[in-house]
A and B are shown apart, each in its own frame.
Chain A
Amino acid sequence: MNREEDRQARLELMSAIEGGSTFWSHEISVRGSIEVVQRLKSGDYLEHSPSATRRIQQSDGEALRELISNAKALVIIPGDSEWPTQLNDLDAPPIALCLRGVADLRSLALCSIAIVGARAASSYGVRLASEMALQLGERGWNVISGAAYGIDAAAHRGALLSGALTAAVLASGVDQPYPSGHDRLYETICANGVLVSEVLPGVAPTRGRFLVRNRVIAALTRGTLVVEAALRSGSLRTAADALTLNRSVMAMPGPVTSPTSAGCHRLIMEHKAELVTDLSDVLLHIGPLLAENSERVAATNPRDQLTEEEKALLEIFPSRGGTSVEKLMNLSDLPANRILALLGLLATSGFIERDGAGWLLTKQGKA
Chain B
Amino acid sequence: MTLATTRSIALVGIEGAVVDVEADLADGLPAFYLLGLPDASLGESRDRVRAAIINSGESWPSRRITVALSPASLPKRGSSYDIAVAVAILAADSKLPAKDLGELMLMGELSLDGRLKEVRGVLPAVLAAARAGIRRVIVPITNVQEARLVPDVEVIGFRSLGELIAWFRGLEPPDQLPIQDQLMPDVKVPLDLVDVVGQHEARRAAEIAAVGEHHFFMVGTPGSGKTMIAERMPSILPELDRDGAIEVSAIHSIAGCLSGNEPLLIAPPFIAPHHTATRSAVIGGGSAHPRPGAVSLAHCGVLFMDEAPEFARGILDALRQPLESGFVSVARTAGTAKYPARFLLVLAANPCPCGRFSGDGRACTCSSLMVRKYLSRLSGPLLDRVDLQVYVEPVSRVDLMGNLRGESSAAVHDRVMAARERSASRLARGGWRTNSQISATVLRGEFAADARGMSLVHRALDEHRLTARGLHKVLRLAWSVADLEGHDRPTIDDVAQGYALRTGAQRLVGAA
Contact = CB atoms under 8 A, between A and B. Distances in A.
B132 interface: no
B498 interface: yes
Interface string A153-182: 000000000010000000000000000000
Contacts of A327: 393, 396
A343 B496 contact: yes
Chain B interface category by residue count: 35 or more
A343 B499 CA distance: 8
B357 interface: yes
B465 A340 contact: no
B201 A326 contact: yes
Contact of A348 (B199, B360, B398, B456): B456
A7 B192 CA distance: 79
A349 B466 CA distance: 11
Contacts of B219: 356
Nearest to B398: A330
A348 B451 contact: no
Given A329-B200, A336-B204, A324 B393 contact: yes
A12 interface: no
Nearest to A342: B496
A327 B204 CA distance: 15
Chain A interface category by residue count: 20 to 34
Nearest to A131: B462
A355 B463 contact: no
B264 to A, nearest CB: 36
Nearest to B463: A350
Contact of A353 (B199, B391, B506): B506
B360 A355 contact: no
Contacts of B189: none
A321 B481 CA distance: 29
A357 B509 contact: yes
Nearest to A279: B462
A135 interface: yes
A295 interface: yes
A135 B458 CA distance: 9
A321 B512 contact: yes
Interface string B350-385: 010000011111000000000000010000000000
Interface in A330-367: 330, 335-337, 340-345, 347-350, 353-358, 360
Given A138-B458, A326-B396, A356-B357, A344 B498 contact: yes
A136 B197 CA distance: 47
A325 B201 contact: yes
B198 to A, nearest CB: 6
Provide the main secondary structure of the chain A interface. Answer: helix
A337 B494 CA distance: 9
A348 B507 contact: no
Nearest to A353: B506
A105 B393 CA distance: 57
Contact of A355 (B359, B452, B466, B507): B507
B506 A354 contact: yes
Contact of B511 (A138, A324, A343, A360): A360
B393 A347 contact: no
A135 B454 CA distance: 12
A39 interface: no
Nearest to B444: A161
A189 B201 CA distance: 46
Contact of B496 (A341, A355, A360): A341
Contacts of B375: 356
Interface string A306-329: 000000000000000100111101
Contacts of B398: 330
B507 A340 contact: no
B499 A326 contact: no
A295 B452 contact: yes
A54 interface: no
Given A344-B495, A356-B508, A357-B361, A326 B500 contact: no
A321 B396 contact: no
Given A326-B201, A326-B396, A335-B200, 16 more contacts: A138-B459, A324-B391, A327-B393, A330-B398, A336-B201, A336-B204, A340-B201, A344-B496, A345-B493, A347-B500, A355-B509, A356-B375, A356-B507, A356-B509, A357-B509, A358-B391
24 contacts: A296-B459, A325-B200, A326-B201, A329-B200, A337-B204, A340-B496, A340-B500, A341-B493, A341-B500, A342-B496, A344-B496, A344-B498, A345-B496, A347-B500, A348-B459, A353-B506, A354-B391, A355-B506, A355-B508, A355-B509, A356-B508, A357-B351, A357-B509, A360-B511
